[in-house]
Structure 1
Amino acid sequence: MRWFWVDRFTEFVASSHAVGHKGVALSDNFMHDHWDAYPTMPHSLMAEGMAQTGGLLVSEIYEFKELVVLAKFSKLVFHGITRGGETITYRAQIDNLRDVGAVVLVTGHVGDELRAEGEIFFARLQKGGDTGEMRSADMPMRLFDPKDLAHWLHLVGIFEVGVKQDGTRMRAQDYGLPLEMAGK
Protein backbone atom coordinates (compact mmCIF):
# COMPACT_ATOMS: atom_id res chain seq x y z
CA MET A 1 0.00 0.00 0.00
CA ARG A 2 1.40 3.34 -0.99
CA TRP A 3 -0.76 5.75 1.01
CA PHE A 4 -1.61 5.37 4.68
CA TRP A 5 -4.60 7.33 5.95
CA VAL A 6 -4.28 6.15 9.55
CA ASP A 7 -1.29 7.40 11.55
CA ARG A 8 -1.80 5.32 14.67
CA PHE A 9 -4.28 3.17 16.54
CA THR A 10 -5.22 3.79 20.16
CA GLU A 11 -7.65 0.89 20.45
CA PHE A 12 -7.94 -2.39 18.60
CA VAL A 13 -10.09 -5.25 19.91
CA ALA A 14 -9.97 -8.29 17.64
CA SER A 15 -13.25 -9.14 15.89
CA SER A 16 -14.94 -6.17 17.55
CA HIS A 17 -13.79 -2.58 17.07
CA ALA A 18 -10.86 -0.25 16.43
CA VAL A 19 -9.99 3.42 16.88
CA GLY A 20 -7.44 5.04 14.58
CA HIS A 21 -6.23 8.61 14.14
CA LYS A 22 -5.04 10.74 11.24
CA GLY A 23 -3.37 14.10 11.78
CA VAL A 24 -4.16 16.49 8.94
CA ALA A 25 -1.39 18.98 8.19
CA LEU A 26 -1.62 22.06 6.03
CA SER A 27 1.72 20.97 4.55
CA ASP A 28 0.18 17.74 3.14
CA ASN A 29 0.31 17.96 -0.66
CA PHE A 30 -3.24 16.71 -1.12
CA MET A 31 -4.59 19.67 0.87
CA HIS A 32 -3.57 22.12 -1.84
CA ASP A 33 -4.68 19.98 -4.77
CA HIS A 34 -8.27 19.90 -3.53
CA TRP A 35 -9.42 23.51 -3.16
CA ASP A 36 -6.48 25.82 -3.67
CA ALA A 37 -7.94 28.89 -1.96
CA TYR A 38 -9.38 26.96 0.99
CA PRO A 39 -7.37 23.79 1.72
CA THR A 40 -9.40 20.93 3.20
CA MET A 41 -9.07 17.17 3.56
CA PRO A 42 -10.83 15.60 0.55
CA HIS A 43 -13.81 13.50 1.56
CA SER A 44 -12.56 10.64 -0.59
CA LEU A 45 -9.41 10.43 1.56
CA MET A 46 -11.47 10.46 4.74
CA ALA A 47 -13.43 7.54 3.27
CA GLU A 48 -10.13 5.77 2.58
CA GLY A 49 -9.04 6.30 6.20
CA MET A 50 -12.29 4.79 7.45
CA ALA A 51 -11.81 1.90 5.00
CA GLN A 52 -8.24 1.25 6.16
CA THR A 53 -9.35 1.25 9.79
CA GLY A 54 -12.20 -1.16 9.10
CA GLY A 55 -10.19 -3.23 6.65
CA LEU A 56 -7.48 -4.02 9.19
CA LEU A 57 -10.16 -4.98 11.69
CA VAL A 58 -11.70 -7.43 9.20
CA SER A 59 -8.29 -8.72 8.05
CA GLU A 60 -7.41 -9.60 11.64
CA ILE A 61 -10.43 -11.91 11.80
CA TYR A 62 -8.73 -13.99 9.10
CA GLU A 63 -5.34 -13.63 10.86
CA PHE A 64 -4.06 -11.30 8.10
CA LYS A 65 -3.71 -14.39 5.88
CA GLU A 66 -6.67 -14.05 3.52
CA LEU A 67 -7.40 -11.53 0.83
CA VAL A 68 -9.98 -9.02 2.10
CA VAL A 69 -11.04 -6.13 -0.14
CA LEU A 70 -13.43 -3.23 0.12
CA ALA A 71 -16.46 -4.37 -1.89
CA LYS A 72 -18.77 -1.40 -1.40
CA PHE A 73 -19.83 1.51 0.74
CA SER A 74 -23.46 0.73 1.56
CA LYS A 75 -23.76 4.13 3.18
CA LEU A 76 -21.42 7.14 3.23
CA VAL A 77 -22.38 10.58 4.52
CA PHE A 78 -20.15 13.59 5.22
CA HIS A 79 -21.02 16.27 7.78
CA GLY A 80 -18.60 19.11 7.20
CA ILE A 81 -15.01 19.76 6.22
CA THR A 82 -11.69 18.99 7.87
CA ARG A 83 -8.88 21.54 7.81
CA GLY A 84 -5.15 21.44 8.40
CA GLY A 85 -4.22 21.17 12.07
CA GLU A 86 -7.16 18.93 12.92
CA THR A 87 -7.02 15.26 13.87
CA ILE A 88 -9.58 12.83 12.53
CA THR A 89 -10.52 9.95 14.80
CA TYR A 90 -11.78 6.93 12.89
CA ARG A 91 -13.94 4.39 14.69
CA ALA A 92 -14.78 1.04 13.13
CA GLN A 93 -17.02 -1.67 14.55
CA ILE A 94 -17.84 -5.08 13.13
CA ASP A 95 -21.59 -5.10 12.56
CA ASN A 96 -22.20 -8.34 10.70
CA LEU A 97 -19.69 -11.12 10.09
CA ARG A 98 -20.49 -13.61 7.33
CA ASP A 99 -18.58 -16.35 5.57
CA VAL A 100 -18.19 -14.12 2.50
CA GLY A 101 -16.98 -11.07 4.44
CA ALA A 102 -18.04 -8.49 6.99
CA VAL A 103 -20.07 -5.33 7.34
CA VAL A 104 -18.28 -2.61 9.31
CA LEU A 105 -19.82 0.58 10.70
CA VAL A 106 -17.36 3.49 10.53
CA THR A 107 -17.26 7.09 11.66
CA GLY A 108 -14.83 9.98 11.42
CA HIS A 109 -14.83 12.59 14.18
CA VAL A 110 -12.85 15.75 14.82
CA GLY A 111 -13.10 16.20 18.56
CA ASP A 112 -16.75 15.54 19.41
CA GLU A 113 -17.98 16.62 15.97
CA LEU A 114 -19.11 13.90 13.57
CA ARG A 115 -17.57 14.58 10.15
CA ALA A 116 -18.32 11.31 8.34
CA GLU A 117 -20.18 8.05 8.82
CA GLY A 118 -20.56 4.99 6.73
CA GLU A 119 -21.22 1.32 6.36
CA ILE A 120 -18.67 -0.73 4.43
CA PHE A 121 -18.84 -4.30 3.18
CA PHE A 122 -15.46 -6.03 2.98
CA ALA A 123 -15.44 -9.14 0.81
CA ARG A 124 -13.36 -12.15 1.70
CA LEU A 125 -11.98 -13.59 -1.51
CA GLN A 126 -12.06 -17.29 -0.80
CA LYS A 127 -10.45 -20.24 -2.41
CA GLY A 128 -12.83 -21.82 -4.90
CA GLY A 129 -14.19 -25.35 -5.04
CA ASP A 130 -12.29 -28.54 -4.31
CA THR A 131 -9.19 -27.47 -6.22
CA GLY A 132 -8.12 -24.89 -3.64
CA GLU A 133 -7.44 -22.35 -6.39
CA MET A 134 -8.55 -18.75 -6.20
CA ARG A 135 -11.71 -17.87 -8.12
CA SER A 136 -9.60 -15.91 -10.59
CA ALA A 137 -6.16 -16.99 -11.71
CA ASP A 138 -5.10 -13.33 -11.64
CA MET A 139 -5.94 -12.81 -7.95
CA PRO A 140 -3.04 -12.91 -5.50
CA MET A 141 -3.39 -14.79 -2.21
CA ARG A 142 -2.20 -11.68 -0.30
CA LEU A 143 -2.07 -8.00 -1.07
CA PHE A 144 0.95 -7.44 1.17
CA ASP A 145 4.27 -9.12 1.64
CA PRO A 146 4.22 -10.36 5.28
CA LYS A 147 7.27 -8.19 6.15
CA ASP A 148 5.61 -5.08 4.73
CA LEU A 149 2.36 -5.82 6.54
CA ALA A 150 4.17 -6.45 9.83
CA HIS A 151 6.10 -3.20 9.38
CA TRP A 152 2.90 -1.18 8.86
CA LEU A 153 1.09 -2.85 11.77
CA HIS A 154 4.04 -2.01 14.03
CA LEU A 155 4.20 1.58 12.76
CA VAL A 156 0.52 2.29 13.47
CA GLY A 157 0.71 0.65 16.90
CA ILE A 158 -1.56 -2.37 16.40
CA PHE A 159 0.62 -4.60 18.59
CA GLU A 160 1.02 -1.90 21.24
CA VAL A 161 -2.73 -1.50 21.84
CA GLY A 162 -4.34 -4.54 20.21
CA VAL A 163 -6.01 -7.20 22.29
CA LYS A 164 -7.82 -10.41 21.41
CA GLN A 165 -11.39 -11.12 22.50
CA ASP A 166 -10.13 -12.80 25.71
CA GLY A 167 -8.13 -9.68 26.61
CA THR A 168 -4.67 -11.08 25.84
CA ARG A 169 -2.28 -8.88 23.89
CA MET A 170 -2.06 -9.36 20.12
CA ARG A 171 1.45 -10.38 19.02
CA ALA A 172 2.91 -10.44 15.51
CA GLN A 173 4.05 -14.04 15.89
CA ASP A 174 0.45 -15.14 16.58
CA TYR A 175 -0.32 -14.21 12.96
CA GLY A 176 2.81 -15.69 11.42
CA LEU A 177 4.27 -12.21 10.86
CA PRO A 178 7.93 -11.31 11.37
CA LEU A 179 8.69 -10.27 14.93
CA GLU A 180 10.79 -7.22 14.18
CA MET A 181 9.88 -4.38 11.90
CA ALA A 182 11.10 -4.71 8.34
CA GLY A 183 13.33 -1.93 7.05
CA LYS A 184 14.11 -0.36 10.44
Structure 2
Amino acid sequence: MRWIWIDRFVAFESGRSARAVKALSHAEDLFADHFPGYPIMPAPLMLEGLAQTGGILVGEARDFREKVVLAKVPTAKFHREVFPGRLLTYDAEILTLREEGAAVLGKIWLDSELIVEAEIFFAHLDQSRSQQLFGDQNFVFSGELKNLLGLARKVSSHPSS
Protein backbone atom coordinates (compact mmCIF):
# COMPACT_ATOMS: atom_id res chain seq x y z
CA MET A 1 0.00 0.00 0.00
CA ARG A 2 1.27 3.45 -0.92
CA TRP A 3 0.22 6.53 1.03
CA ILE A 4 -0.05 9.86 -0.71
CA TRP A 5 0.32 12.97 1.43
CA ILE A 6 -0.63 15.48 -1.27
CA ASP A 7 -4.23 16.30 -2.14
CA ARG A 8 -3.47 18.57 -5.09
CA PHE A 9 -1.02 21.03 -6.56
CA VAL A 10 -1.93 24.70 -6.45
CA ALA A 11 1.19 25.98 -8.26
CA PHE A 12 3.81 24.29 -10.41
CA GLU A 13 6.72 25.92 -12.25
CA SER A 14 8.63 23.27 -14.18
CA GLY A 15 12.22 22.88 -13.02
CA ARG A 16 11.87 25.54 -10.32
CA SER A 17 9.14 25.21 -7.70
CA ALA A 18 5.90 23.54 -6.70
CA ARG A 19 3.20 24.14 -4.12
CA ALA A 20 0.83 21.42 -2.98
CA VAL A 21 -1.77 21.15 -0.23
CA LYS A 22 -2.97 18.43 2.13
CA ALA A 23 -6.18 18.71 4.15
CA LEU A 24 -5.89 16.78 7.40
CA SER A 25 -9.25 15.13 8.05
CA HIS A 26 -10.27 13.84 11.48
CA ALA A 27 -11.29 10.64 9.66
CA GLU A 28 -7.74 9.67 8.62
CA ASP A 29 -6.62 6.42 10.20
CA LEU A 30 -3.37 7.85 11.52
CA PHE A 31 -5.17 10.11 14.01
CA ALA A 32 -6.75 7.16 15.83
CA ASP A 33 -3.35 5.95 17.01
CA HIS A 34 -1.14 9.04 16.99
CA PHE A 35 -1.83 9.84 19.79
CA PRO A 36 -5.11 8.60 21.33
CA GLY A 37 -6.81 11.54 23.00
CA TYR A 38 -4.27 13.99 21.51
CA PRO A 39 -4.24 13.45 17.73
CA ILE A 40 -1.34 15.10 15.90
CA MET A 41 0.15 14.71 12.45
CA PRO A 42 3.35 12.66 12.74
CA ALA A 43 6.44 14.64 11.74
CA PRO A 44 7.74 11.93 9.36
CA LEU A 45 4.46 12.01 7.43
CA MET A 46 4.66 15.78 7.06
CA LEU A 47 8.18 15.32 5.74
CA GLU A 48 6.93 12.59 3.37
CA GLY A 49 4.36 14.98 1.87
CA LEU A 50 7.10 17.53 1.34
CA ALA A 51 9.33 14.86 -0.24
CA GLN A 52 6.50 13.76 -2.55
CA THR A 53 6.02 17.38 -3.66
CA GLY A 54 9.75 17.82 -4.26
CA GLY A 55 10.15 14.41 -5.88
CA ILE A 56 7.46 15.10 -8.46
CA LEU A 57 9.07 18.48 -9.18
CA VAL A 58 12.52 16.89 -9.65
CA GLY A 59 11.21 14.02 -11.76
CA GLU A 60 9.26 16.31 -14.06
CA ALA A 61 12.26 18.65 -14.46
CA ARG A 62 14.22 15.82 -16.10
CA ASP A 63 11.27 14.40 -18.08
CA PHE A 64 11.31 11.24 -15.93
CA ARG A 65 14.41 9.86 -17.65
CA GLU A 66 15.47 8.35 -14.33
CA LYS A 67 13.72 7.15 -11.21
CA VAL A 68 13.85 9.74 -8.44
CA VAL A 69 14.41 8.41 -4.94
CA LEU A 70 14.77 10.15 -1.61
CA ALA A 71 18.47 10.01 -0.74
CA LYS A 72 18.66 11.92 2.55
CA VAL A 73 17.27 14.73 4.62
CA PRO A 74 20.33 16.54 6.01
CA THR A 75 18.27 19.11 7.90
CA ALA A 76 14.69 19.31 9.08
CA LYS A 77 13.30 21.74 11.64
CA PHE A 78 9.83 21.29 13.09
CA HIS A 79 8.38 24.35 14.79
CA ARG A 80 5.04 23.08 16.08
CA GLU A 81 2.49 20.28 16.16
CA VAL A 82 -0.32 20.03 13.65
CA PHE A 83 -3.81 18.83 14.51
CA PRO A 84 -6.55 17.33 12.33
CA GLY A 85 -8.91 19.71 10.61
CA ARG A 86 -6.08 21.90 9.26
CA LEU A 87 -4.68 22.51 5.77
CA LEU A 88 -0.95 22.05 5.17
CA THR A 89 0.77 23.82 2.30
CA TYR A 90 3.96 22.22 0.96
CA ASP A 91 6.45 24.44 -0.90
CA ALA A 92 9.37 22.85 -2.74
CA GLU A 93 12.09 24.76 -4.58
CA ILE A 94 14.91 23.15 -6.54
CA LEU A 95 18.26 24.39 -5.23
CA THR A 96 20.46 22.27 -7.51
CA LEU A 97 19.67 19.83 -10.30
CA ARG A 98 22.46 17.63 -11.64
CA GLU A 99 22.86 14.31 -13.44
CA GLU A 100 23.21 12.34 -10.21
CA GLY A 101 20.43 14.05 -8.27
CA ALA A 102 18.91 17.19 -6.87
CA ALA A 103 18.67 19.25 -3.72
CA VAL A 104 15.33 20.76 -2.76
CA LEU A 105 14.45 23.35 -0.15
CA GLY A 106 11.12 22.49 1.38
CA LYS A 107 8.79 24.43 3.65
CA ILE A 108 5.46 23.54 5.17
CA TRP A 109 3.00 26.25 6.10
CA LEU A 110 -0.07 26.27 8.32
CA ASP A 111 -1.96 29.33 7.14
CA SER A 112 0.82 31.96 7.10
CA GLU A 113 2.90 30.26 9.80
CA LEU A 114 6.07 28.40 8.81
CA ILE A 115 5.98 25.09 10.67
CA VAL A 116 8.63 22.95 8.93
CA GLU A 117 11.84 23.72 7.05
CA ALA A 118 13.87 20.97 5.40
CA GLU A 119 16.57 20.35 2.86
CA ILE A 120 15.95 17.16 0.90
CA PHE A 121 18.35 15.36 -1.42
CA PHE A 122 17.06 13.14 -4.20
CA ALA A 123 19.11 10.65 -6.22
CA HIS A 124 18.53 9.80 -9.87
CA LEU A 125 18.75 6.13 -10.72
CA ASP A 126 19.51 5.59 -14.39
CA GLN A 127 17.56 2.96 -16.28
CA SER A 128 20.18 0.19 -16.02
CA ARG A 129 20.82 0.71 -12.29
CA SER A 130 17.14 1.02 -11.40
CA GLN A 131 16.27 -2.07 -13.43
CA GLN A 132 18.92 -4.06 -11.53
CA LEU A 133 17.48 -2.94 -8.21
CA PHE A 134 13.76 -2.72 -8.89
CA GLY A 135 12.89 -4.29 -12.26
CA ASP A 136 10.81 -2.54 -14.91
CA GLN A 137 8.16 -1.07 -12.65
CA ASN A 138 8.34 2.66 -12.06
CA PHE A 139 7.55 2.49 -8.36
CA VAL A 140 7.97 6.21 -7.84
CA PHE A 141 5.68 7.71 -10.46
CA SER A 142 2.74 5.37 -10.73
CA GLY A 143 -0.92 5.38 -9.84
CA GLU A 144 -2.01 8.36 -7.76
CA LEU A 145 1.33 10.19 -7.96
CA LYS A 146 1.09 10.04 -11.76
CA ASN A 147 -2.41 11.50 -11.56
CA LEU A 148 -1.14 14.31 -9.32
CA LEU A 149 1.59 15.03 -11.85
CA GLY A 150 -1.00 15.38 -14.60
CA LEU A 151 -2.90 17.82 -12.42
CA ALA A 152 0.36 19.66 -11.65
CA ARG A 153 1.02 20.11 -15.35
CA LYS A 154 -2.46 21.55 -15.81
CA VAL A 155 -1.78 24.03 -13.00
CA SER A 156 1.56 24.88 -14.64
CA SER A 157 -0.03 25.61 -18.01
CA HIS A 158 -2.90 27.61 -16.46
CA PRO A 159 -1.33 29.66 -13.60
CA SER A 160 -4.54 31.54 -12.87
CA SER A 161 -6.35 28.29 -11.93
* TM-score between the two structures when normalised by the length of structure 1: 0.78
| Alpha-carbon distance in structure 1 between the residues aligned to 2:41 and 2:146 | 28
Larger radius of gyration: 1
Corresponding residue number in structure 2 for 1:114: 114
Corresponding residue number in structure 1 for 2:9: 9
| Alpha-carbon distance in structure 2 between the residues aligned to 1:89 and 1:117 | 12
Deviations 1:54-98 (A, max 9, x none): 000000012124211000001111010111111000000000112
1:137 is aligned with what amino acid? Q
Q: Indicate yes or no: 2:157 matched with 1:159.
A: no
Corresponding residue number in structure 2 for 1:46: 46
* TM-score between the two structures when normalised by the length of structure 2: 0.88
Q: Indicate yes or no: 2:137 matched with 1:137.
A: no
| Alpha-carbon distance in structure 2 between the residues aligned to 1:116 and 1:105 | 11
Structural mapping, 1:161-180, within 5 Å:
161-163=155-157
Corresponding residue number in structure 2 for 1:31: 31
| Alpha-carbon distance in structure 2 between the residues aligned to 1:28 and 1:147 | 20
Check the 8 A contact 2:96/2:104 in 1, yes or no: yes
| Alpha-carbon distance in structure 1 between the residues aligned to 2:103 and 2:75 | 11
| Alpha-carbon distance in structure 1 between the residues aligned to 2:19 and 2:116 | 14
| Alpha-carbon distance in structure 2 between the residues aligned to 1:61 and 1:160 | 15
- Report the Cα offset of residue 146 of structure 1: 6.0
Q: Which one has a larger percent helix, Structure 1 or Structure 2?
A: 2
| Alpha-carbon distance in structure 1 between the residues aligned to 2:73 and 2:120 | 4
Q: May I ask how many residue pairs the two structures share in their alignment?
A: 158
- Report the Cα offset of residue 119 of structure 1: 0.3
Instruction: Using the aligned pairs only, state the percent identity.
Output: 38
Which structure 1 residue ranges, 5 or more long, are not aligned? Answer: 128-132, 170-184
- Report the Cα offset of residue 149 of structure 1: 5.1
More displaced, 27-36 or 42-51? 27-36
1:140 is aligned with what amino acid? G
Larger RCO: Structure 1 or Structure 2 (Cα < 8 Å, ≥ 6 residues apart)?
2
CA RMSD in angstroms comes to: 2.2
Check the 8 A contact 2:9/2:148 in 1, yes or no: no
